[in-house]
Structure 1
């Protein structure tokens, strides 16, 4: 059983489309991807996936939308986290500058994790507790750790954690380096819009290696990494302390809370070329990508 089967996820729509009167149901696990959007996506809590009531309408292929960012215009760079000296690749896509690697700051390693019946001496981890995986994928953080819920660096996300609804002050630096912050869902949507490909946004943001074979379509699960965003399938850690889905999926925290137990995330699957926005439990451990202030 893969990690995603442990996660309780509901879905919201991303961008690039409009709602229509026709009703349609998402396939498989009722996912709603970047290729459909709906005004009725209110982010209400649910332990089941939501179906979309919108019909996808892609932009005309005969013209280039003004919000589309040509991959040849992206600007690659680096930044150094002064807290530990680690250097990260960065990429400027349109108006946004993102880290092009997952955060690997060893934060909250001495803060106890408790989610009955499992306990841990940390609320951030390397996949399979192997330091080599931190070097490869970055660390996996609970939402409380990602938001800096104890206020180590700023008070913007203080008090945000499992079973505790909060009112963060945006932007939320969270665990990110100074001058960077944990993205809100709207910032993920801006990224999707810039990439502009309705059904291949995920593929264009994925790394060109590391993803497992797509057994659904008998195709390679790797991406094309057109924008040097280089998403790797880091997997995650569930509330029982089990790691899973390395090679199969990637998930990233947002700073946008749904309710006391769930938060909006961005994620990708090895068998899909789409990118998704959905819910995840605050107690799980997943990746962090920071965006520049």
Structure 2
């Protein structure tokens, strides 16, 4: 009887693991439609745009990641309007759908090269949203004043690069990996 129970328990655990892996894999699978410039994912349909010879999501990612993503001011309405904010580790841990990736610092420099905030806010282009960010201590800052996007480039063990845009300038700076910032994805 013990052997049968152990076998049933092992089979149940294996099936549960397979179901969980398959669900995660399906959640990260999206369909890109070049004709309509959309990326259809289980959670949302994202607009896309071609900038500097790369296809970008033209909206901030809005995928829920437990303990590593947040809505600005913990208000879900902000996630609906400007996407979620993520830690650098969450942004780099398969947040972008299969076939897509987190942009590098150089990708952002090429995309933002000669554009000011007004040009980046153009809904037909990058569709910049001043979503602000969240400090690692839980405080929120800069909504409607700046946009901060994680790049895939780390600076050192505790810091990584952000592309930051305000009305007056664009900067590329390193910040603590535990702050929460917006994420865009590019097609591989």
Does TM, normalized by the shorter one, top 0.5? yes
Q: Among residues 109, 117, 120, which one is paired with 1:202 in the alignment?
A: 117
Corresponding residue for residue 166 of structure 2: 269
- Would you say 1:127 and 2:72 are equivalent positions? yes
Match of 2:37, SS state, is strand
Q: Among residues 35, 49, 53, which one is paired with 1:95 in the alignment?
A: 53
Q: Which has the higher helix share?
A: 2
1:113-170 CA-to-partner distances (Å, cap 9, x unmatched) read xxxxxxxxx121111111111111111001111111xxxxxxxxxxxxxxxxxxxxxx
CA distance in 1, matches of 2:107, 2:36: 19
5+ residue gaps in structure 1?
Answer: 1-74, 110-121, 149-173, 208-224
Q: TM-score by structure 2 length?
A: 0.76
1:96-127 CA-to-partner distances (Å, cap 9, x unmatched) read 110000000112x1xxxxxxxxxxxx121111
Superposed CA RMSD in Å reads 1.7
Match of 1:266, SS state, is strand
Change (3 A) 1:275 1:289: same
Query: Which segment drifts farther, 251-260 or 183-192?
Result: 183-192
Q: TM-score by structure 1 length?
A: 0.50
Contact 1:264/1:278 (<8 A) preserved: yes
Deviation at 1:188, TM superposition (A): 1.1
Deviation at 1:76, TM superposition (A): 6.5
Equivalent residues, number: 154
1:219-273 CA-to-partner distances (Å, cap 9, x unmatched) read xxxxxx2852111110111011011211111100000010011111101113x0x
Deviation at 1:93, TM superposition (A): 2.1
- Would you say 1:191 and 2:86 are equivalent positions? no
CA distance in 1, matches of 2:60, 2:43: 15
CA distance in 2, matches of 1:126, 1:285: 10
CA distance in 1, matches of 2:87, 2:162: 12
1:178-257 mapped onto 2 (5 Å cutoff)? 178-193=98-113, 197=114, 200-205=115-120, 207=121, 225=122, 228-257=125-154
Match of 2:180, SS state, is coil
CA distance in 1, matches of 2:144, 2:112: 22
Match of 1:259, SS state, is coil
**Bigger Rg, structure 1 or 2:** 2
CA distance in 2, matches of 1:227, 1:190: 18
Q: Which has the higher strand share?
A: 2
Corresponding residue for residue 40 of structure 2: 80
Corresponding residue for residue 144 of structure 1: 89
